[in-house]
Amino acid sequence: MSEAPAHLWVWVTLFAAAVQTLRFMLQKLLAGAQLSVGGATFSRFLFGFPLAAAAALAFIAGSGSPWPHLSGAFWGYVIAGGATQVAATFLTVALFGLRNFAVGVAFTKTETVQVALFSAVILGEWVGPLGWVGIVIGLAGVLFLTKPPEGGFALRAALYGIGAGALFGLSSIFYRGATLELEPLGFFARAIVALACATFVQSLGMGLYLRLREPGQLCRVFAAWRRTVLVGITGVLGSAGWFTAFSLQNAAFVRAFGQVEIVFTLLASALVFHEKLHRREGIGIALVMLSLIVIVLAGR
């Protein structure tokens, strides 16, 4: 970790969260058009893989880094991470049809507690007391943001969101493991190579799924390439940010700090989709922002 500034992961995570919010906005628009949930999800990986692969090859060639050894453990982490991320993205896009855009994404933020537990169990990377304080404060803020305005409880949306959060958490841990398998390469080389391999696996898997289960969707994705390519570009940029952050810091800290995305999402919800926000969002945002400060201090 000495090869990068101590707080570089914070800025990289901010970038990744902002770009991911933009991708979710684009995917919502796609899901509401001629593409199914699966088609909108696949569009992210189809046009993202060529960009990630080209970036990886260019960076390794330009930097003089040795070609990494892609071990069986590395591919195991990549395949597991790719599969859980696809499933999580599928659930998240499906959420948009059940709840308000901002609230739907917020349900997935239950991943912060789950990823801290997964990190300890799978990678043996523990979160200290201060880190847990930050995670709990952030979770409290998210709960304020996800409370249904009418006072009811949307069980199906909650289950979708919590499930997506768990799967996103697992994918973060697996991707963190993949980048660690590529040491002693530099942090960005590890991130971009892992990303290229992950998007390759995801493109193949989702393409096969659509071919077998949703005939006609592949053609619709390609036909709508002018719109879907934007999802691919924002997807690969956001993923590059997350992978880089994972190569620099414990995935639990990265995902906890990534809760800043909910602030970006609320802004998008109000300004782009003209969805009504409520006063409780002020408390939720304040708690999330407080948690970010605590997480940065814990991540030191």
For the residues of 8-45, what is the DSSP string, one character each? HHHHHHHHHHHHHHHHHHHHHHHHTTT--HHHHHHHHH
The segment with the largest mean pLDDT, out of 18-27, 105-114, 132-141, 276-285, is 132-141
Residue 222, pLDDT above cutoff 50: yes
Q: What is the pLDDT of residue 106?
A: 62
Give the pLDDT confidence of 128-179 residue by residue, as tens digits: 899 899 998 988 887 777 655 444 456 677 778 788 889 989 999 999 999 9
Buried b / exposed e over 81-119, threshold 16 CB at 10 Å, is: bbbbbbbbbbbbbbbbeebbbbbbbbbbbbbbbbbbebb
Q: What is the pLDDT of residue 217?
A: 85
Q: Is residue 226 part of a domain?
A: yes
Distance CA 79, CA 215 (A): 24
Distance CA 103, CA 147 (A): 8
Q: Is residue 3 part of a domain?
A: no
Range of the domain at 137: 8-299
- Residue pair 73/264 in contact (Cβ under 8 Å)? The answer is no
Percent of the chain at pLDDT exceeding 90 = 27
Q: Is residue 192 part of a domain?
A: yes
What is the Rg, in whole angstroms, of the alpha carbon atoms belonging to the chain? 18
Residue 285, pLDDT above cutoff 90: no
Query: Is the whole model's pTM more than 0.75, yes or no?
Result: yes
Which residue shows structure tokens 């249904």? Answer: 148
Contacts of 225 (CB under 8 A, 6+ apart): 47
Which residue shows structure tokens 């659930």? Answer: 91
Q: Give, in degrees to the nearest 5, the angle at Cα 297 between 81 and 17.
A: 40
Distance CA 275, CA 105 (A): 14
Q: What is the pLDDT of residue 4?
A: 67
Cα dihedral 89, 194, 218, 24 in deg (nearest 10): 30
Residue 243, pLDDT above cutoff 90: yes
Q: Is residue 63 part of a domain?
A: yes
Residue 32, pLDDT above cutoff 60: no
Paired tokens of 157:
């949306």
- Grade residue 30 by pLDDT with cuts at 50, 70 and 90: low
Q: Is residue 75 part of a domain?
A: yes
CA-to-CA separations, 171 to 43, 77, 83, in angstroms, rounded? 19, 9, 8
Distance CA 113, CA 140 (A): 11
Residue 1, pLDDT above cutoff 60: no
CA-to-CA separations, 111 to 119, 130, 201, 252, in angstroms, rounded? 12, 18, 23, 9
Domain count, the chain: 1
Give me the count of residues in the chain: 300
Mean pLDDT of the chain, nearest integer? 82
Q: What is the pLDDT of residue 241?
A: 93
The segment with the largest mean pLDDT, out of 32-41, 151-160, 192-201, is 192-201
Q: What is the pLDDT of residue 33?
A: 55
The segment with the largest mean pLDDT, out of 40-44, 95-99, 176-180, 281-285, is 176-180
Least confident of 104-108, 198-202, 214-218, 219-223: 104-108
Q: What is the pLDDT of residue 165?
A: 87
25 compared with 55, residue with greater pLDDT: 55
Q: What is the pLDDT of residue 2?
A: 43
Q: What is the pLDDT of residue 170?
A: 94
Q: Is residue 2 part of a domain?
A: no
Distance CA 268, CA 85 (A): 23
Q: What is the pLDDT of residue 246?
A: 94
Q: What is the pLDDT of residue 102?
A: 55
Q: What is the pLDDT of residue 36?
A: 76
